[in-house]
Amino acid sequence: MFFLFLILILLFLIVFSTIKFEVKRLYISNVDKIKLDYDFLIYVKLYAFGFIKFFQIKLNKSKFKDINLLKKIEYKKIKQNFTNTKLSLSKLKMDLEEFNLNLKIGTESMLLTNLLILFSGIGIPFLFNSLVKKYSKEKHRFRIEPLYQNNQLIDLKFNCIIKVKMVHIINIICMLLKKRSDIKDARTSNRRIDDDSHEQYTRYD
């Protein structure tokens, strides 16, 4: 009985908790370098009722030396699930508390470089409008500059803080499971119809 009570409390804390993703440092650059260099430091934290921290994970470059692990991720299935359920940023109801981006980018085409700068300059304010609940000039900043060197170049420095309530994540997981169940039921139903049709044709033959 005591353990059941503890499990119920833990479930209660998880359901009503907030996940905070803190990208303390993300650095990617191949400017003045032979190969692409990168580094990152990310914290994933769980807060009960939004302010009592009870769990934390630290992610950095040393823990992800085997980049080949990324190749094992089934991106097509992830994309299909998100497309089928029509997931959007609004359903997750994320809160972009902080956003600081310093990006220099260049391509072999001056036109393409200018287009990337243009679309980035349009897309980031749209992101702010969708995800930022309390905008601050000090906490929400970005600077994007072109590099005209006739080469594929990137120099990125980035940090941000994103908050998501666990109840919204659970809601999306339920949507995914329901959609998968509906697809399975539809396939089963179609199979039965095909089998019935096949039996009818067999009788007439």
- Following DSSP, what letter does each residue of 70-139 receive, concatenated? GGGS-HHHHHHHHHHTT--HHHHT-EEEEEEEEEEEE-S-HHHHHHHHHHHHHHHHHHHHHH-SS--TTT
Q: Any idea which residue has 């930022």 for tokens?
A: 132
Query: What pLDDT does 48 receive?
Result: 87
Query: What pLDDT does 191 receive?
Result: 62
Low-confidence stretches of the chain (pLDDT < 70) are 64-90, 181-205
Give the number of other CB atoms < 10 A from CB of residue 82.
Answer: 13
Which structure tokens are listed for 86?
A: 């029509």
Query: What pLDDT does 62 receive?
Result: 80
User: How many Cα atoms are found within 13 Å in the side-chain-facing hemisphere of 106?
Assistant: 14
Q: Any idea which residue has 């393409």 for tokens?
A: 112
Give the number of other CB atoms < 10 A from CB of residue 157.
Answer: 15
**59-68 as b/e: b if 16+ CB within 10 A:** eeeeeeeeee
Query: What pLDDT does 34 receive?
Result: 78
pTM of the model: 0.73
Classified as helix, coil or strand, 63 is helix
